[in-house]
Amino acid sequence: MTDVTFWALVVLATVTGLVTAWTLGANSNSPPFAPAIGANAISTMRAAFLIGILAALGALTQGGSISETVGAGLIDGVAITSLAATAGLLSATAFMAFGVYTGYPVPAAFATTGAMVGVGLSLGGTPAFDTYRRILTFWVLVPPVSGGLAYLTATVLRRDDIPETIGVPLLAGVVGGIVANVRLSVIPDPAGGDQGSIAAFFGGFASMPAVAGVELDAALVTLVVALTSFQFIRRRTQRSVDRGVRTFLVLLGSVVAFSSGGSQVGLATGPLENLYGAELGLPGIVLLAVGATGILGGAWMGAPRLLQATSREYAQLGIRRSIAALVPGFVIAQAAITLGIPISFNNIIISGVIGGGLAGGSAGVSRRKIGVTILFWVLTLVTSIGVGFGVYRLFSTVLGG
């Protein structure tokens, strides 16, 4: 391969990655603020602006683990070349474009994972079965866990003996406690890792001993953040229940949008990991910045239209059910980031909506629709492997790479 061909492929792969990130920013990062818009807590344009900023920040500070999994953990024995990265991204983007234009539920995580597995096999690599088991186990657990958490959340919010001045602040406290333990690349880790959390960093100043494997100093900081979150939303709800709930919806949407950026950017940047790292010698933050830029552009340019549509759907669901759908989204997205597992954010939200609906006696989604959704998830994963394999084989034949 000549230098001209190599750099042409670098440009093509980067542009394709940007397009993929743009698509994710316009689609997968939009649901978090839809309930807040439906409740008239924030305008559509302001929500799109915040989604872009927050998702881009999440991509920069949390996107590395999933990007590494997609780029290097799906196939053993080979490295993903620039040509292979281009083939994988084009294959995955084609699936996502098909889903956008036809309305069928094509999850980005399934399409990208399958395409990169197919490309890797076409390169001559061997399947990374241990990674597949971890990913598939997580994917299988997402619907029942997300639905179960949503059911529990909606049940608490619907109880007559738990007023909204208590139930909503309790959820805020739980979310605040989790936020305190979210690991970010911009926070130093006292243990010497690449990412630290608010709880671990500030807890380090207390120097308290660990008891039964629990770091008491980090637990204390977590408790303080949780109580602060609880008290803040409680005061807002005591003054006005509607205002307090709207405030919580905006804050919840913010942390979920941040998490969605960290969990989704790896689908666009993962295929470029070897190209940017081993072949170009660039630090990982450069690649994440490329993905963050694409997500930012997608959110600002493409999210408003989708937000208007999804906000109407969430308005029909009601505030309680909307909150119940988003809380599991935040929890599961952070778990996936910690484990480095690519996920479909819409998969989590759909499961949460169903679980929240069951708390009211009906999921609000037909069995046929659920069956069609699951069928397309499976078809996407299986066929994307074949498409990725074939596209790379075609490219390598034509370009000799």
100-111 per-residue burial string, b: 16 or more CB within 10 A, e: under 16: eeeeebbbbbbb
Q: Give the pLDDT score at 213.
A: 62
DSSP-derived 3-state class of residue 2: coil
Q: Give the pLDDT score at 114.
A: 94
pLDDT in tens, 88-134: 999 998 888 787 677 666 788 999 999 999 999 999 999 999 999 99
Contact 272, 86 (CB under 8 A): no
Is 337's pLDDT higher than 80?
yes
Q: Give the pLDDT score at 311.
A: 66
Give residue 50's identity as a one-letter amino acid code: L
- The pTM (predicted TM-score) of the whole model is 0.88
Percent of the chain whose pLDDT exceeds 70: 89
Q: Give the pLDDT score at 192.
A: 67
Q: Which residue has the higher pLDDT, 131 or 194?
A: 131
Q: Which residue has the higher pLDDT, 364 or 29?
A: 29
Q: Which residue has the higher pLDDT, 22 or 356?
A: 22
Query: Residue 47 and residue 36: Cα distance in Å, rounded?
Result: 9
Contacts 24+ apart (CB under 8 A), 280-287: 280/10, 284/64, 284/67, 285/60, 285/185, 287/67
Query: Residue 66 and residue 56: Cα distance in Å, rounded?
Result: 15
**Using CB atoms within 10 A of its CB, is residue 380 exposed (0-12), middle (13-18) or buried (19+)?**
buried
The mean pLDDT value for 139-153 works out to: 88
The mean pLDDT value for 162-176 works out to: 90
Q: Where are the alpha helices (DSSP H) in 240-318?
A: 241-269, 273-274, 284-317
The mean pLDDT value for 201-211 works out to: 72
Q: Looking at the 3D structure of the chain, how many domains does it have?
A: 1
**Using CB atoms within 10 A of its CB, is residue 283 exposed (0-12), middle (13-18) or buried (19+)?**
exposed
70 DSSP 8-state letter: I
User: What does the radius of gyration of the chain's CA atoms come to, in whole angstroms?
Assistant: 21
Q: Give the pLDDT score at 25.
A: 84
Element at 359 (helix H, strand E):
helix 345-359
Q: Give the pLDDT score at 312.
A: 66
Report residue 376's pLDDT band, with 50, 70 and 90 as the boundaries. Answer: confident
Query: Residue 147 and residue 232: Cα distance in Å, rounded?
Result: 28
Contact 217, 231 (CB under 8 A): no
Contact 371, 300 (CB under 8 A): no
Range of the domain at 189: 3-399
Residue 95 phi/psi, 5-degree rounding, is: -65, -45
Residue 49 phi/psi, 5-degree rounding, is: -60, -45
Where do the DSSP E strands lie in 24-141? 75-76, 126-127
pLDDT in tens, 256-276: 999 999 999 999 999 999 889
Is 82's pLDDT higher than 90?
no
Q: Which residue has the higher pLDDT, 349 or 57?
A: 57
Measure the CA dihedral 288/48/332/161, to 10°: 160
The mean pLDDT value for 141-145 works out to: 89
Is 301's pLDDT higher than 60?
yes
Distance of CA 197 to the CA centre of its chain: 19
* Mean predicted lDDT score pLDDT of the chain: 85
pLDDT in tens, 19-52: 889 888 877 777 788 777 877 788 888 888 998 9
Is 389's pLDDT higher than 90?
yes
Q: Give the pLDDT score at 126.
A: 94
DSSP-derived 3-state class of residue 104: coil
Report residue 394's pLDDT band, with 50, 70 and 90 as the boundaries. Answer: very high
Q: Give the pLDDT score at 1.
A: 59
